């Protein structure tokens, strides 16, 4: 449990607290905001089971809430070869393993209950084995990744199976391992990232809200400078609020403009993705603000003081390797802003 000290710093007060002692499903632990817009639901199935466990996570810590049995019983031999995910709105859950039917369930964020179970078949390539699934930001499309192919289905269609479109097929590239398709994740910049056996490459779906090939799937669209491990970072929708005020739709840049009770500098960082140079466009409410660019380890790589007299400030990126970075703008007596920046060359 993490608590704030008197100086405002964080410290660990308790650790290694056992919440539950039972075998859990491999790779199917996901999170979504509670309907209160503050606390969280943590959801995971039991091992080789269609029984889901629900934990409540708030300022007091993590506590087991309840369990629910719903949906199809999975095959024990295929556990760990698929993925489970919430949509960006927190209203639907998809559970998927290649070669099996896709499962969809609606989710009640107030009660933490799954309902309205349904499933649909998918036409798979015979070499489909491992893979993952991810919703488009607007929730209309579900992307199904299956080793050699990426499929898109329209979950609003009267016949979901008939809406299946192949939006990308592996091109055979090896370096030296084949860069096939595996798990996927909606990033904070509203693009979908897909990993594979070669841990230096992410495949990218640039426009996941668009149908068919217009989604712009790009193989190896993000090249990492070093291997990044056999998995993807997990990004639940931190912006999700209560049902009557669910927060902004998925946007590439986080801004507090227009949010009741908050003020900000209206920061824009462009172009994004960037090459060797990026520009900061802003409008301050204070005499000055502080901009920082950080890597995935939280190390500050660029630090600038911005004044109200300036309008657009260039920032050199030439010495930074390609990859995903994070930025933040701190303005005195105002809400801070943050976002992600992709460097590509």
Q: How does DSSP assign 5-42, residue by residue?
A: -TTS-EEES--------S-B-TT--EEEE-TTSSSEEE
Domain-terminating residue out of 192, 223, 254: 223
**The predicted structure's pLDDT at residue 253:** 57
Q: Are residues 16 and 146 in the same domain?
A: yes
Residue 87 within a domain: yes
Q: Please state, in angstroms and rounded to a whole number, the distance separating the CA atoms of residues 246 and 51.
A: 28
Q: Are residues 43 and 120 in the same domain?
A: yes
Q: Please state, in angstroms and rounded to a whole number, the distance separating the CA atoms of residues 269 and 327.
A: 9
Structural domains of the chain, count: 2
Q: Are residues 201 and 313 in the same domain?
A: no
Residue 165 within a domain: yes
Domain-terminating residue out of 223, 241, 256: 223
Q: Is the pLDDT of residue 230 over 70?
A: no
Which SS3 state, helix, strand or coil, does residue 156 take? Answer: coil
**The predicted structure's pLDDT at residue 323:** 86
Where residue 20 falls (left for φ over 0; alpha for ψ -120 to 50; beta otherwise) is: beta
Residue 319 within a domain: yes
Q: Is the pLDDT of residue 10 over 70?
A: no
Domain that holds residue 312: 268-343
Residue 255 within a domain: no
Q: Is the pLDDT of residue 114 over 70?
A: yes
Assign residue 23 the CATH number of its domain: 2.120.10
Domain-terminating residue out of 189, 223, 257: 223
Q: Are residues 46 and 129 in the same domain?
A: yes
**The predicted structure's pLDDT at residue 339:** 79
Residue 27 within a domain: yes
| Residue reference for tokens 């489970």 | 84
- Tokens representing 69 are 């049995």
| Residue reference for tokens 């308790």 | 14
Which SS3 state, helix, strand or coil, does residue 161 take? Answer: helix
- What residues does 57 pair with on adjacent strands? 40, 62
Q: How confident is the model at residue 61 (pLDDT cuts 50, 70, 90)?
A: confident
Give the number of other CB atoms < 10 A from CB of residue 301: 14
Q: Cis peptide leading into 76, omega within 30 of 0?
A: no
Q: Are residues 219 and 272 in the same domain?
A: no
| Residue range 152-158: mean pLDDT, rounded | 96
Q: Are residues 163 and 273 in the same domain?
A: no
Would you say 290 and 330 are in contact if contact means Cβ atoms under 8 Å apart?
Answer: yes
Q: Are residues 272 and 219 in the same domain?
A: no
Q: Are residues 114 and 192 in the same domain?
A: yes
Assign residue 314 the CATH number of its domain: 2.60.40.3080
Percent of the chain residues topping a pLDDT of 70: 90
């Amino acid at each position: 449990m993490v608590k704030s000290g008197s100086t405002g710093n964080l410290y660990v007060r308790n650790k290694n607290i056992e919440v539950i002692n039972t075998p859990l499903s491999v790779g199917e632990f996901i999170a979504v905001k509670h309907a209160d817009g503050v606390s969280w639901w943590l959801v995971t199935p039991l091992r080789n089971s269609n029984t889901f466990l629900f934990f409540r996570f708030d300022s007091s810590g993590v506590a087991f809430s309840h369990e629910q049995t719903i949906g199809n019983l999975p095959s024990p031999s295929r556990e760990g070869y698929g993925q489970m995910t919430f949509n960006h709105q927190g209203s639907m859950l998809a559970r998927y393993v290649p070669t099996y039917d896709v499962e969809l369930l609606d989710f009640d964020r107030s009660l933490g209950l799954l309902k309205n179970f349904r499933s649909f078949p998918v036409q798979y390539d015979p070499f489909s084995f491992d893979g993952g699934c991810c919703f488009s930001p607007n929730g209309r499309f579900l992307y199904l990744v299956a080793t050699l192919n990426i499929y898109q289905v329209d979950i609003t269609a009267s016949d979901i199976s008939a809406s299946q479109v192949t939006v990308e097929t592996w091109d055979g590239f090896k370096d030296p391992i084949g860069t096939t398709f595996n798990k996927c994740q909606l990033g904070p910049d509203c693009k979908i990232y897909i990993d594979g056996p070669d841990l230096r490459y992410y495949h990218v779906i640039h426009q996941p809200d668009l149908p068919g090939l217009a989604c712009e799937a790009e193989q190896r669209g993000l090249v990492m400078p070093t291997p990044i491990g056999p998995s993807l970072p997990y990004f639940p929708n931190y912006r999700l609020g209560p049902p009557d005020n669910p927060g902004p739709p998925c946007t590439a840049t986080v801004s507090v403009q227009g949010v009741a009770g908050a003020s900000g500098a209206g920061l824009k960082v462009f172009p994004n993705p960037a090459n060797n140079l990026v520009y900061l466009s802003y409008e301050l409410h204070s005499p000055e603000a502080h901009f920082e660019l950080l890597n995935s380890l939280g190390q500050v790589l660029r630090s600038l003081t911005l004044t109200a007299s300036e309008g657009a400030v260039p920032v050199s990126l030439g010495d930074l390797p390609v990859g995903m970075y994070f930025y933040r703008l701190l303005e005195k007596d105002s809400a801070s802003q943050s976002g992600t920046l992709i460097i590509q060359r």
